[in-house]
Amino acid sequence: MSQEIADWIAYIKAHPDTWKQEHTDFINAQFDKAYAFIEKIGAEPDGVDRLCTMYGITNKNLIEELRAKFANTSSHESMAPPHAPVTHYPDSC
């Protein structure tokens, strides 16, 4: 077992009441950063082409949809879908 996994297990055991929310906040922040990156690249003049290359998007309909979305989005408008924080965890967690 790697040291990172052992450390995470120890952290969970030491913080049984708070680790889930901290983990959820961390994961949500990762999604927010990914959406911000996509928006930043997409807003550039050749951004849609770069995004399609990076993510391997070849569907022409999807590419045109992306071009339309970025053409109609101002720099301060977010394209990220709203995400609700996770409030229920299965008992197995």
Q: What is this structure's pTM?
A: 0.59
Tokens of 62: 């999807």
For residue 26, which amino acid is it? F
For residue 3, which amino acid is it? Q
Task: Report the alpha-carbon distance of residue 69 to residue 73 in Å, rounded.
Answer: 6
pLDDT computed for residue 76 by the predictor: 46
pLDDT computed for residue 19 by the predictor: 92
pLDDT per position in the chain (93 positions), as tens? 799 999 999 999 999 999 999 999 999 999 999 988 888 888 888 888 998 998 898 988 888 988 888 887 654 455 555 555 555 555 544
Domain residue limits, the chain = 34-75
Task: Report the alpha-carbon distance of residue 39 to residue 75 in Å, rounded.
Answer: 8
Helices 47-55 and 19-42: crossing angle in degrees, nearest 10, is: 130
pLDDT computed for residue 78 by the predictor: 55
Task: Report the alpha-carbon distance of residue 62 to residue 43 in Å, rounded.
Answer: 16
